[in-house]
Structure 1
Amino acid sequence: MRVDIATPLRLIGDFFALAADTARGLFVLPFQWREFVDQSWFIVRVSLVPTFLVALPLTALVSFTLNILTSEFGASDTSGAGATLGSVTQVGPIVTVLIVAGAGATAICADLGSRTIREEIDAMEVLGIDPVHRLIVPRVLASTTVALLLNALVCAIGIIGGFFFSVFLQNVTPGAFVAGIPLLTGLPELLISEIKAGAFGLIAALVACYRGLSVRGGPKSVGQAVNETVVYSFMALFVVNVVLTAIGVKATAG
């Protein structure tokens, strides 16, 4: 049985072609500021509550595990350093992956997929309106911006939640926790965390836009595209997370 690899390669090529068109559309004036603001607020509305619901349990889990480990070695005073490092370098970006891909990207895909099957995209092209400049660029920038803000929010939740969890439930000294915050985490780690979050938002939005524009058929195909958006986004974003984490460790080592 011969496997035809032309179709997957063509799909990958189409995706990168859309990414290139989006990059060019960033410099086309006038920029769609109203669409950008509307989409940013839309993504915030669908992502804010899930962010809290996912960040709080992960924060408790990380703090609980680290505090047990440090207490076994008699180093409870370093719990602040571990909780901050875990929140900034891993919990923040991972929660951003889950929320941006699971809530924001799916909403973008469903919106564009619905427009596609209603032939709104074809109508825009007939009228001479570039759908990439009009629809895709604002959504990609909105997703990237919201991902950066969500990551900062999750990092803050992780540090504050770790403080209350460690101090009030595991009897860690408040002063020792606060003093340990800057031991392992500084500006380089925060910048790498934000770079990872921005890359996640960018990639998730591009995947969602591509699947939304490539929908063929009726409403059932929109649902399939949304499901595929989640799977493809998770696959791409976790790979990117591993790569950027490795680069960040090398860059901040020493």
Structure 2
Amino acid sequence: MSRALDARVAAPGSGALRQVGNLALLAGEVLRALPRRPFQAREFVHQAWFFAAVTIVPTAFVAIPFGAVISLQLGSLTQQIGAQSFTGAASALAILQQAGPLVTALLVAGAGGSAVCADIGARTIREEIDAMEVLGVSPVHRLIVPRVLAAMFVSLLLNGLVSSVGVAGGYFFNVIMQGGTPGAYLASFNALAQLPDLYLSEIKALIYGFIAGIVAAYRGLHPAGGPKGVGDAVNQAVVITFLLLFLVNVVLTALYLQLVPAKAM
């Protein structure tokens, strides 16, 4: 992005539509820079390791209560309406389609994305981004693309972890605490779950990781100025990412339910 554009974006009073437009421009630049060579493999591995290191333990611990809450709530509801045999399917599908990708993305954005925003913001106020542009080095290709790809890659892997831990936790709490039948729990899940449910979960994880990386990089490139501006940019990046994730989740879920027929018993 040109420095003239950066100045307009960072100027006080910039409209929300302009911010959205320039965020979309940065996303387009990242997509165009993906096939560009040389690929920053070392930076990608370093960032992926960092994302995994700061998110894997919190993600595993957060997945357990998420699975427990969903299982307990649905188990109580199905008992009231006499449909205990569907508890496994409802719990597992809710975790797989909704909770897994969202929990993963929220933690990637909150832990990894905030660090990316702070790093790029610090480089911006130290004028390292300007220096790279003067030297003819693309900041998007050198700094942002590896971080966005790392966020997507780690989101994809952590989504599998969250889904597995959540489903296992839901099974434990339903069977142990609510007296559910293990066979019925697993049978209902096998009867109603289908492969597109897994595809949807992984696609959501990839898209959410892309959103988290792009928003973090965008806010890092446009701090208000000084260390306080970088701190404000980090807070804004996390909040904006959360809002976009929930909005995109509604759109993707609605499209999936319209395009993919439910599996019959």
TM bracket (short chain) = over 0.9
Name the counterpart of 1:104: 112
Partner of 1:24: 32
The corresponding residue for 2:87 is: 79
Residue of structure 2 in register with 1:160 after alignment: 168
Q: Which runs of structure 2 are paired with 1:32-71 in the superposition (5 Å)?
A: 32-71=40-79
Percent identity of paired positions between Structure 1 and Structure 2: 53
Unaligned runs of 5+ in 2: 1-11
**How far does the alpha carbon of each residue in 1:44-88 deviate from its partner, in whole angstroms, 9 at most, with x for none?**
111112212321111111000111112223332222111111111
Q: Which moved more, 1:10-19 or 1:136-145?
A: 10-19
User: Any conservation in 2 of the 1:100–1:200 contact (CA below 8 Å)?
Assistant: no
* Cα gap change, 1:169 to 1:28, in 2 (>3 Å): same
TM-score with structure 2 length normalisation? Answer: 0.90
Over aligned residue pairs, what C-alpha RMSD do you find? 1.6
| Secondary structure at 1:253 match in 2 | coil
The alpha carbon displacement at 1:6 in A equals: 6.2
| Structure 1 residue 183: Cα displacement | 2.2
Matched residue count? 251
Is residue 225 of structure 2 the alignment partner of residue 217 of structure 1? yes
- Offset at residue 184 of structure 1 (A): 2.2
The CA distance in 2 between the partners of 1:72 and 1:11, in whole Å, is 48
Aligned to 2:3: none
User: How big is the shift at 1:96?
Assistant: 2.0
Deviations along 1:137-188, one digit per CA (max 9) or x if unpaired, are 1111111111111111111111111111111211112122121222222111
* Mapped contact 2:60–2:161 kept (Cα < 8 A): no
Partner of 1:114: 122
Q: How does 1:151-230 map to 2 (within 5 A)?
A: 151-230=159-238
Partner of 1:243: 251
Q: Taking structure 1 as the reference length, what is the TM-score of the superposition? A: 0.93
1:92 aligns to 2:103 (yes or no): no
Offset of 1:129 from its aligned partner?
1.2
Query: Unpaired segments of 5 or more residues in structure 1?
Result: none
